[in-house]
Amino acid sequence: MERRIFGTDGVRGEANAGAMTPETALRLAQAAAAHFRRGAHRHRVVIGKDTRLSGYMIESALQAGFTSAGMDVFLLGPVPTPAIGVLTRSLRADVGVMISASHNAFADNGIKLFGPDGYKLSDADEAAIEALMDGPPARAAPAAIGRARRVEGDAMRYVEVAKASFPRRLTLDGLKIVVDCANGAAYRTAPTVLWELGAEVIPLAVSPNGVNINEHCGSTHPAACQAAVVAHGADLGVALDGDADRVHVIDEHGAVIDGDQIMALIAERQLRADALKGGAVVATVMSNLGLERHLAGLGVGLIRTRVGDRYVVEAMRAQGCNVGGEQSGHVILSDFTTTGDGLIAALQVLAALKEAVAPASTVLRRFEALPQVLRSVRYAPGARPLDAGAVRDAIAAVERDLGAAGRVLIRPSGTEPVIRVMAEGPDREAVEAGVAAICEAVSGAAG
């Protein structure tokens, strides 16, 4: 069944418009409640959010929908997305919800749903919930309407889970760490974890006001973190996104280290400890060819999936792997968590740094990445630029020019109306020229 409101990571869009209205959120909650009702026990849902102004509106609508369907609601307030996976299981909830548009600007918002096992929903589950939204809501009888309460302090359960992922034989004593929380969901938890493990912490973007989430900060805008690392002489920078499920790290010179290098480092560390499961790392089609070739040299496979961290998780579960992620900084370590977790990934990097007793610039560069260029082209509603003959011809021409040494990947985004154009190969000038030619063709057909 074709999904209408769900994208690659839940429901996402401009707040108070389209699929992100209170009315849609209420119906979504009622449908999700109906989908996950199992047995006669008292059902419950946990709801967390990031720091967007519209989070209050969406939270209230979801609360109304779930309680009207007879579910009790635990309101957690601002917590990282991975905390919802942890707390859904810990609190024995039937559904977990995270209200966040991740790395998007504050004007957008989103709804991510988790099943009782703490994992994001499959395509089939999302399609079933959409189908239920088309029918009449199953409202509870007056005596069976759910209760709601705001839960204080449950974010500290996640703090303990994060700390437990760091080796007990190590501390962060002696390390100066800049942590950029993107004025988002981890503005309290991330500095707390690093400080409690012994680091000298320099916090950035920890003053959310509802509209400054991801604004010139965080993993998608790392310049402030880079500058702070250099200015403070820090050992490492940790740049999270708005819901803290992705991370980029910054070495002592201010250079950004992406998710591919982080996965390579963690996989090598696991391999040495005979703890790498499944004989492979799972990544998406966006990961650099350099990562694939580096892992092959270690005797480790690379399993590629479509873009979206939940597809990475599905493949990890199917193949029995415990390391996976995306170049964008979603790193999934299934020994500790059920979804991308920027803080836990950063802690594994810090553990490697402590073990190596070497600077981050040495420890974190595990392979030479092929030149890769990624650009986005926005298109008008209803336009289908990838169907245009000029676009297909441009793609074919670039593929011929790059040959077997490179590759081209064109895809529509699952979270916003843009076409992602990516190419990589040994010659940067050729890659840049190829991407520019394809983008020009897409722009001409984009309406």
Q: What is the pLDDT of residues 319-377, one digit of tens each?
A: 999 999 999 999 999 999 999 999 999 999 999 999 998 999 999 999 999 999 999 99
State pTM to two decimals. Answer: 0.91
Last residue of some domain: 363, 390, 405? Answer: 363
pLDDT on residue 3: 65
> How far from each other are the two terminal CA atoms of the chain, in whole angstroms?
28
pLDDT on residue 2: 57
pLDDT surpasses 60 at 51: yes
Q: Out of 3-17, 39-53, 100-114, which region has the weakest mean confidence (pLDDT)?
A: 3-17
Q: 35 in a domain, yes or no?
A: yes
- State the average pLDDT over residues 33-56: 95
Q: What range defines the domain where residue 113 resides? A: 6-154
Q: 163 in a domain, yes or no?
A: no
Q: What is the pLDDT of residues 4-31, one digit of tens each?
A: 889 878 999 999 999 999 999 999 999 9
Q: 167 in a domain, yes or no?
A: no
pLDDT on residue 158: 94
Give catalytic residue positions. 102
Q: 168 in a domain, yes or no?
A: no
Last residue of some domain: 154, 187, 209? Answer: 154
Q: Are residues 13 and 118 in the same domain?
A: yes
CA–CA separation, 94 and 115 (whole Å) = 7
pLDDT on residue 383: 86
pLDDT on residue 114: 97
Taking all residues of the chain, what is their mean pLDDT, rounded to a whole number?
A: 95
Q: 165 in a domain, yes or no?
A: no
Q: 46 in a domain, yes or no?
A: yes
Q: 161 in a domain, yes or no?
A: no
Q: Are residues 150 and 10 in the same domain?
A: yes
Task: Please spell the DSSP secondary structure of 175-226, one letter per residue.
Answer: -EEEEE-TTSTTTTHHHHHHHHTT-EEEEES----SS-TTTT-STTSTHHHH
> Which CATH number is 408's domain given?
3.30.310.50
Q: 162 in a domain, yes or no?
A: no
Last residue of some domain: 124, 154, 184? Answer: 154
Q: Are residues 265 and 143 in the same domain?
A: no
Q: Are residues 285 and 199 in the same domain?
A: no
> Which CATH number is 279's domain given?
3.40.120.10
Q: Are residues 185 and 243 in the same domain?
A: yes
Buried b (16+ CB within 10 A) or exposed e, 234-257: bbbbbbbbbbbbbbbbbbbebbbb
Number of domains in the chain: 4
pLDDT surpasses 80 at 414: no
CA–CA separation, 407 and 427 (whole Å) = 12
Q: Are residues 295 and 227 in the same domain?
A: no
Buried b (16+ CB within 10 A) or exposed e, 410-447: bbeeebebbbbbbbbbeeeebbeebbebbbebbeebbe
Q: What is the pLDDT of residues 214-247, one digit of tens each?
A: 999 999 999 999 999 999 999 999 999 999 999 9
pLDDT on residue 126: 94
Instruction: Name the amino acid, one letter, at 366.
Output: R
Q: What is the pLDDT of residues 192-222, one digit of tens each?
A: 999 999 999 999 999 999 999 999 999 999 9
pLDDT surpasses 50 at 409: yes
Q: Are residues 143 and 192 in the same domain?
A: no
Instruction: Name the amino acid, one letter, at 20.
Output: M
Confidence of residue 152 (pLDDT cuts 50, 70, 90): confident
Contact 390, 436 (CB under 8 A): no
SS3 label, residue 47: strand
pLDDT surpasses 80 at 1: no
Q: Are residues 25 and 114 in the same domain?
A: yes
Of residues 413 and 161, which shows the higher confidence score?
161
Q: Are residues 345 and 418 in the same domain?
A: no
Query: How much of the chain, in percent, has pLDDT values that exceed 90?
Result: 90
pLDDT on residue 416: 76
Q: Are residues 47 and 115 in the same domain?
A: yes
Q: Are residues 272 and 138 in the same domain?
A: no
Q: 266 CB contacts (<8 Å, ≥6 apart)?
A: 323, 331, 333, 345, 348, 349, 352
pLDDT surpasses 90 at 102: yes
Q: Are residues 147 and 14 in the same domain?
A: yes
